[in-house]
Amino acid sequence: MIVLAFRDVEIALGGRTVLEGVNLAIGQGEFIGLLGGNGAGKTTLLRAALGLIPPRRGAIEVLGKAASRGNPAIGYMPQSRAVPANLRLSGHDFVAGVVDGARWGLPLLGSEGRREVDRVLELVAASALAHRPLAELSGGERQRLLLAQVLVGSPKLLLLDEPLMSLDPSHQAGVVELVASLQRSLGLTVLFSAHELNPLLGVMNRVLFVGNRQAALGTVDEVITEPVLSRLYGTRIEVVRLGGRIFVMAGAQDMARDTHGCGDHGHAHGQEHSHEHSHGDHAADA
């Protein structure tokens, strides 16, 4: 079954073409690593799949239907996920807040809603965090709660935008392992955006690389090559494989080490941003 398909898709933001001629099909149960240079269009691609950015040309389908806002089959984790330090929400309340997105203030759930929160906390091994304040949690612990939010409602497709950002290598490995375990055990399809390829090498089925308004989907050996990446970066790229790791180089510069900037709406070296946590019906424009 094809879970996500782009058919000759062109997407523009503010009159600037971000992606064009994109054709891809992602099947049920696949773990796809979404890679690309800063400002290449990774976040734009995810938001188009959410139905938040309509294509200027072509068609986007989720589970055989046109992409549309508020699709409960999609669980979405945006890139910007800061929690105010003075917000004294517990882990349980934080997750419960997405069960009924139409309600303002602290969630008041019935028994069914509380069971759903308990279910997703258990899925991500975060039941022990339920009664702890968010301000006291580590970055890795917060990521578990964010993943629990994404799983509310049993979505079929997870769109995760840079979930490894600001985590140290050990916590990055823990998040990747957790997402891969959920993907396998629940039969989920995962599109996992990342700034660097190497943390995903052991778990992803294929890689989707975007750049120069284009996209290439295939195995690592098919996509992470000098001809393909040179086309997508628009400059000569060297791919170095060393000690089980892959380095993408332009001259002496490791392209995965670029600093973060301002996003899809900015210049070519800006880092993409999305500003709200969303799930299904609660997805919002940025």
The reported pLDDT for the residue numbered 262 is: 37
Report the predicted TM-score, pTM, of the whole model to 2 decimal places.
0.85
- Residues β-bridged to residue 242: 245
Residue ranges of the chain with pLDDT lower than 50? Answer: 102-104, 259-286
The reported pLDDT for the residue numbered 229 is: 94
pLDDT tens digits for range 132-173 = 988 888 888 989 999 999 999 999 999 999 999 888 888 899
The reported pLDDT for the residue numbered 252 is: 64
Which class would CATH give 2-282? alpha beta
**SS3 for the chain, per residue?**
CEEEEEEEEEEEECCEEEEEEEEEEEECCCEEEEEECCCCCHHHHHHHHCCCCCCCEEEEEECCEECCCCCCCEEEECCCCCCCCCCCCEHHHHHHCCCCCCCCCCCCCCHHHHHHHHHHHHHCCCHHHCCCEHHHCCHHHHHHHHHHHHHCCCCCEEEEECCCCCCCHHHHHHHHHHHHHHHHHHCCEEEEECCCCHHHCCCCCEEEEEECCEEEEECHHHHCCHHHHHHHHCCCCEEEEECCEEEEEECCEEHHHCCCCCCCCCCCCCCCCCCCCEEHHHCCCC
The reported pLDDT for the residue numbered 100 is: 73
Please answer whether residues 126 and 161 qualify as being in contact, where contact means their C-beta atoms are separated by less than 8 angstroms. Answer: no
The reported pLDDT for the residue numbered 58 is: 98
The reported pLDDT for the residue numbered 83 is: 61
- Domains of the chain, by residue range, sit at 2-282
The reported pLDDT for the residue numbered 267 is: 33
pLDDT tens digits for range 208-245 = 999 999 999 999 999 999 999 999 999 999 999 999 89
The reported pLDDT for the residue numbered 286 is: 30
Q: Are strands 245-250 and 253-254 parallel, antiparallel or unpaired?
A: antiparallel
